[in-house]
Structure 1
């Protein structure tokens, strides 16, 4: 009998990445909405699962997992097919870029979107200016990986957790922060990433999440603000 996971999620949050991965590997899971409008991510109930108060959290028979990269790697190793296995020569490349996504690109985006969590309000513009440069450089690094045949991180024939993670970050960079210049990331500078994003958004796993979280018809290439059936993205 397969294990049923419980994903604590909010629409168009980092839980979206995990949800697409769950759909892609065909793992059974239940959903528990974390209503951000009610600040449920800071409730005692949710903090008992994820003391960092961030979304997502994944309940498994092995305990509760949080941190997007950790959840993705755990699922990939448990189920296979969406990341190089431990005896695969591509594993080293996969690991270093997974940690890059988690520790650099995703972390930088979070500071870009929520500077008040990291710095005094009067310094937010300066922080965002510096972060915008770093994030553009992060995307440029990933753009160069696509045609590099010596690096087997992105394989269009078999989408991986890395593909999902990169495309979600590309989506958010085109939408947020709403009070900042919308063209701080110019996606036309990353044509290789956009080609793969277009193909990934046609994947059946993405279609399920796209529909249920209200992500719009082109969630990665020409994203619109989420209009979910249940819950709120912000």
Structure 2
């Protein structure tokens, strides 16, 4: 396959895709999207991703956008490696959790980080509600989710990192309150593919279990 190109910003949703790419060992290149200067709204970028969001993955068959869609596309290139194949008995359960992450956990995090976009009149109230909902979501994961599939892990791990760093005061969040998720984060971040992705974005040696602000070699998180 021809090389892929990931349009990314440091410590953004594109991190989920970079992690998956490292696990596939597929060749890929990256292009920084300068979010600090609204690079995601440039006409050239909108031609690839009309939603003006990050990430976008350029493929030999055209661009793919939306984090969950990109992850599934990558899984289809390596059937059974990152995610159950189409005819696998556990495919349905795996899809359920993947779409729950995409449709429930990820949007709740967005309301934590950018409440003014969703409720301009009372952003602090929405942020408070988002913290409560995130804790509920993590309670569910702690009780029910098993880290069986790489694709789910690549999506979830960054979302366990971000509440400790972004979205106003972060004292409310401590991943160790969810011991199974904390253990997952420790095991996952020790994997070679994960270490490569973390190094590429300046995330440090404990990016998910004990996160620190990113110090990327290019761009900056925002």
Shorter-chain TM-score bucket reads: over 0.9
Structure 1 length normalisation: TM-score?
Answer: 0.91
Contact 1:145 1:154 in 2 (8 A): no
**Aligned structure 1 segments of 4 or more residues deviating by more than 3 angstroms:** none
**Secondary structure at 1:6 match in 2:** strand
Could you say what the CA RMSD is over the residues aligned between the two structures, in angstroms?
1.2
Ranges in structure 2 where 5+ consecutive residues have no aligned partner: none
- The answer to whether the 8 A contact 2:49-2:65 is kept is yes
d(CA) in 2 for partners of 1:188, 1:221? 8
Give the CA deviation at 1:129: 1.4
3-state secondary structure, aligned to 1:31: strand
1:160 Cα shift?
0.8
Answering whether residue 190 of structure 2 is matched by residue 191 of structure 1, we say: no
* CA deviation map 1:70-97 (0-9, x unaligned): 1001111221301111111110111011
1:79-228 aligned within 5 A: 79-80=78-79, 81-120=81-120, 122-146=121-145, 153-155=146-148, 160-177=150-167, 180-228=168-216
- Match in the other structure for 1:77: 76
Q: Distance in 2 between matches of 1:36 and 1:76?
A: 27
- Which residue number corresponds to residue 149 of structure 1? none
Offset at 1:215? 0.4
- Give the conservation status (yes or no) of the 8 Å contact 1:215–1:228: yes
Distance 2:181 2:209 in 1: 9
Number of aligned positions between the proteins: 221
Do the aligned partners of 1:14 and 1:68 also contact (CA within 8 Å) in 2? Answer: yes
Give the Å deviation of 1:230.
0.8
CA distance in 1, matches of 2:36, 2:177: 35
Whether the 8 Å CA contact 1:9–1:56 is kept in 2: the answer is yes
On the 8 A contact 2:12/2:54 being kept in 1, the answer is: yes
Cα 1:37–1:181, aligned 2, differ >3 Å: closer, same or farther? closer
